[in-house]
Amino acid sequence: MIQIVTADGRAEQQVISAMRARQAQANAAIEAAVAEIFNTVKENGFSAVRDYSLCFDHAEPREIRREELDAAYAACPGALIAALEHAAANIRDYNEKLLSHTLEWSSPDGGVVGRIVRGLKRVGVYVPGGTAAYPSSVLMNAVPAKVAGVEEIVMVTPPTGNLNHAVLAAAKIAGVDRVIAVGGAQAVAALTYGAGFIPRVDKLVGPGNAYVAAAKRMAYGTLDIDMVAGPSEVLVIADETARPKDVAADLLSQAEHDKLASAVLLTTSAALAQAVDAELVRQTGYLSRSEIMECALRDFGCAIVCRDLEQAAQLANEIAPEHLEIMTADPRALLPAIRNAGAVFLGAWSPEPLGDYLAGPDHVLPTSGTARFFSPLSVDSFLKTMSVIQYDRASLAPIAGQIVTLAESEHLTAHANSIRVRFE
């Protein structure tokens, strides 16, 4: 089912190139359509949002009443509510421990410097509708924002059919302030510029289809976004101690997302690679999304037999996967060698779905190699900082001449004058 290659300096590079090429870029038609929606919403406001919503979703945008959230919460099975509450508690605890605070201290010159930390004023959370309704994503996007002290969290979700009860229950659990039934690029445009009762936000987070992804790219700069996520991916580093059954199950857990999902095994054992391949065939046979998984594994699944774990770590850093599992005899021993990954899962009892749902760290992760420079969504994503500087005459006087020297070296005489006049 998957290609098995031996790392020889060429075969593994072909795999890496294929992974990079699979990033689904919005085509010109999508970009043009989204640009038209943005321009029309910017010019005509809510009337344009309503027209697009009626055209695409056959329903007008509307605000979801608090009573509807309560009713959705009550309609969900108790076991689901318990799981959502548990997940929210773990996400909250994790982000509370990461929360940065305002700090001030005495500088070497005797002045006071520091940094003020503030939560963003208003954040939008986009939640897909229909079959792609993920209550876990509501928690992962909204709870860190709440911990950051965001004043208002506005969730938008398409108004098609009956709104998903679990999604609405998750919004209630996460403490979302407003839920608005509006979706697509028109929702992104409305949150970018403000449209009627749909407010302008400072940042927009959450997944969406190709039109939503293109809209987020277009909005960036007017507001901030989390990231433009590519296809899901998992990379497993395993030695001969790993159970083929576990490795295969974890590869499939990402392959089921979509046909562009990537599932890669880096192993020091050729026998393990063969056994995992057999397990993929066996397990795919009884799982519900077998067609999607088979396509993803055929096109973007691979096992690379490495010389040793050091080489495996080097390849993992080059790929910079969204999810990286280390299933070796001593997984923590390899951790210092890992530099690039969205999230790292250590050992056979830390499967990727643990991070997707319940452990606490966010499942909104950099994809397509961007873990080289991007970080997971967290409370930090919803904070901004301001520098603070306070000197008095006694602390400014000894360094005034150096400031004047630096300003004049850049031919900025007014900067130099600002310092001089204080001592005349």
> Residues 223-230: what's their mean pLDDT?
90
Q: Which of 256, 279, 323, 363 is catalytic?
A: 323
Q: What is the DSSP string of 300-322?
A: HEEEEE-SSHHHHHHHHHHH--S
List the structure tokens of 266: 């880096």
323 assigned ligand-binding residue: yes
- pLDDT tens-digit series, residues 50-108: 999 999 999 999 999 999 999 999 999 999 999 999 999 999 999 999 999 999 999 99
Best CA proximity match to 124, nearest among 41, 194, 21, 74: 194
254 assigned ligand-binding residue: yes
> Residues 126-151: what's their mean pLDDT?
92
415 assigned ligand-binding residue: yes
- CA–CA distance, 423 with 393 (Å, rounded to integer): 9
State whether residue 97 is helix, strand or coil.
helix
232 assigned ligand-binding residue: yes
- CA–CA distance, 130 with 135 (Å, rounded to integer): 12
340 assigned ligand-binding residue: no
Inform me whether the pLDDT recorded for 130 exceeds 70: no
Inform me whether the pLDDT recorded for 24 exceeds 70: no
State whether residue 257 is helix, strand or coil.
coil
- Phi and psi at 195, nearest 5°, equal -155, 105
* Arch. (CATH architecture) of 3-24+231-360: 3-Layer(aba) Sandwich (3.40)
Residue 254 near residue 345, CB atoms below 8 Å:
no
| Alpha-carbon distance values, 230 to 155, 210, 233, 261, 368 (Å) | 22, 10, 9, 9, 6
Inform me whether the pLDDT recorded for 147 exceeds 90: yes
Question: What pLDDT score does 27 carry?
Answer: 79
Does residue 323 carry a catalytic annotation?
A: yes
List 327's β-bridge partners, or say none: 238
Q: Quick one: fold of 28-225?
A: Rossmann fold (3.40.50)
Comparing 4-8, 44-48, 372-376, which segment has the lowest mean pLDDT?
4-8
> Residues 285-302: what's their mean pLDDT?
94
What residues have CB less than 8 Å from 278, skipping those under 6 apart?
A: 244
pTM of the prediction? 0.94
Residue 237 pLDDT level (bands cut at 50, 70, 90): very high
Q: Which of 322, 325, 352, 363 is catalytic?
A: 322
Average pLDDT, the chain: 95
186 assigned ligand-binding residue: yes
Inform me whether the pLDDT recorded for 132 exceeds 80: no
- CA–CA distance, 251 with 317 (Å, rounded to integer): 18
> Residues 145-153: what's their mean pLDDT?
98
Inform me whether the pLDDT recorded for 19 exceeds 80: no
Residue 22 pLDDT level (bands cut at 50, 70, 90): low
363 assigned ligand-binding residue: no
410 assigned ligand-binding residue: yes
> Which residue intervals of the chain bear CATH 3.40.50.1980?
3-24+231-360, 28-225
| Alpha-carbon distance values, 47 to 130, 163, 196 (Å) | 24, 23, 8
Inform me whether the pLDDT recorded for 131 exceeds 90: no
The CA dihedral of 255, 237, 137, 37, to the nearest 10 degrees, is: -60
